[in-house]
Chains A and B, each alone.
Chain A
Amino acid sequence: MDEAGLIRDAQRGNVNAYNSLVLHYQEQAFNVAFRIMGDSAAAADATQEAFIAAYRALTQFRGGSFKSWLLRIVTNACYDELRRRKRRPQASLDALYVEDESPDLSLASQTESPESYAQRMELQSAIEDCLQDLPEDQRVVAVLSDIEGFNYQEIADTIGVALGTVKSRLSRSRSRLRDCLQGFTELLPASYRL
């Protein structure tokens, strides 16, 4: 993918070029949003808003890492949505009727036993619960570092903070995650028991 060329075309108003970028980054953007929001529908809304906002602000992109620039917009959209929810907490009526709102995780292989699948799903649930227990700023750093695999500088660029802030937030978030995950020891594989 010629990212620079697509960005250039998109800046000139070529929506199809921009959509190519969207298709390339949408999974990562949605996963970051989902880990931050903890809710699939809210994450989808935030991701869509972020892609629209990014398209409108595309002329302001002056080079550098497009991924960091885009994910910064995604994280900001998530922050905005979370603040909105704090101001006006509301229960979704749809949640009353939808039995399973959990995200569509990768399907289990046909060789995977039901027990293994259940254990895997419980582990995913434990990780998600522990992430949601973190303060927002620590959660974002943990997601970008340990789930998305960003290095410290990429995290600093994405969330717009100093490198030292990234280090301290990550240190605190990992300590809290470790304490949280110890409560799910029986779910963890033997090699991962804390």
Chain B
Amino acid sequence: MANSLSERDLILLNSYLDGELPAAERSTFEQRLARESVLSAELQALRATKALLGMAERVRVPRNFTLDPALYSKPARTNLLDRLSMGSLRPLAAGASLVLAAALCVGAVLIYSGGSLGSAAAEAPADVAYEMQEVPAEEAAQAEELAAPMAEEPALAAPAPAEEAAEEEPAPEMGAAAIPEATADEGGANAAEAAPSPLPTQAADLLAPEAEQRTLESTTAPPEEAVGAGGEAQAPTLAAEIEAVPEEFPAAKEDQQQPGFSVRTAAGIGLVIIALVFALVGLLILFRRPTR
């Protein structure tokens, strides 16, 4: 019987039987049911089937399916702030957070100022060099006196040490010192007076005798001997060390070249931010009321 009906008709029959057919379709379908005996017979069969299934008896549950509270009870969910804000833990947690925040702030300041100290330390050898330069200044004056008569000839005879000095002086201050050095070669002690600022003056004080010492010794000894020639040769050695420091520590050199974008500054700012977070947490613990 059902084989003569299309699947669509069967769906319509079941929908009609279950009261799921819209009103408009329902009236149309009822007209068809009145005309088509096959359709109405199938409807009776489906109605009986549905009624039979409705006679299926309820089955008693074999047991209760309740959950054991001891196994499935979970503690009321409280957030960390709530837990820290409860009882005697509250002042301790708040104090710890604030102390930690303060410590981080101090650390940030130390790191930031440490960056400044670091750059000062990088400059320190230069200061030391300047101090060291002052010591042989008197000796340099004596050397100038000795060098003055020989100024023209050694300058022509020994240009190599002067060139070496220029090559060893990549830094601006040393470049500035090279100018009075040249003038020292030309005009002797007047070169120091012609220097534009105190720093080049000191450098000139240092390098003028150095260059002259080299010019003096270059006529008699190779440059290596001049370097290892006792206290008077300390100045060029220190100058070489001054230059060696930035090469050994490129980061420090970068810090000097880019003072506004240093790692230390970034670390200091990061620590300050973390400190602010801890301070906020501490204040929240101190003044917040737990939600539960």
Q: Contact between B59 and A40 (Cβ–Cβ < 8 Å)?
A: yes
Q: Can you give 24 contacting A-B residue pairs, CB < 8 Å?
A: A13-B76, A13-B77, A15-B67, A15-B69, A16-B69, A18-B67, A26-B66, A30-B59, A35-B56, A44-B63, A47-B65, A55-B67, A106-B57, A124-B55, A145-B18, A167-B11, A167-B14, A167-B20, A171-B7, A171-B11, A174-B50, A175-B2, A192-B52, A193-B48
Q: Contact between B59 and A31 (Cβ–Cβ < 8 Å)?
A: yes
The answer for the CA separation of A194 and B46 in the assembled complex, in Å, is: 9
**Residues in B neighbouring A147, C-beta threshold 8 A:** 53-54, 56
Q: Contact between B56 and A127 (Cβ–Cβ < 8 Å)?
A: yes
Having A170-B18, A171-B14, one finds 12 other A-B pairs with CB under 8 Å, namely A22-B67, A27-B58, A34-B59, A35-B56, A44-B65, A105-B60, A123-B52, A167-B15, A170-B14, A171-B10, A171-B13, A174-B49
Interface 1/0 per residue, A162-194 and B, CB below 8 Å: 000001101110110110010000001000111
Q: Contact between B67 and A105 (Cβ–Cβ < 8 Å)?
A: no
Q: Contact between B46 and A104 (Cβ–Cβ < 8 Å)?
A: no
Q: Contact between B64 and A106 (Cβ–Cβ < 8 Å)?
A: no
Question: Which residues does B use to contact A, with CB under 8 Å?
Answer: 2, 7, 10-11, 13-15, 18, 20, 45-46, 48-69, 72-77
Interface residues contributed by chain A, number (CB under 8 Å): 52
Question: Which residues does A use to contact B, with CB under 8 Å?
Answer: 12-13, 15-16, 18-19, 22-23, 26-27, 29-31, 34-35, 40-41, 44, 47-48, 51-52, 55, 103-106, 120, 123-124, 127-128, 142, 145-147, 151-152, 167-168, 170-172, 174-175, 177-178, 181, 188, 192-194
Q: Contact between A178 and B59 (Cβ–Cβ < 8 Å)?
A: no
The answer for the CA separation of A154 and B51 in the assembled complex, in Å, is: 20
- Set A15, A26, A48, A127: member contacting B72, Cβ < 8 A: A15
The answer for the CA separation of A19 and B71 in the assembled complex, in Å, is: 13
Are A105 and B10 CB-contacts (below 8 A) given A52-B67, A151-B18? no
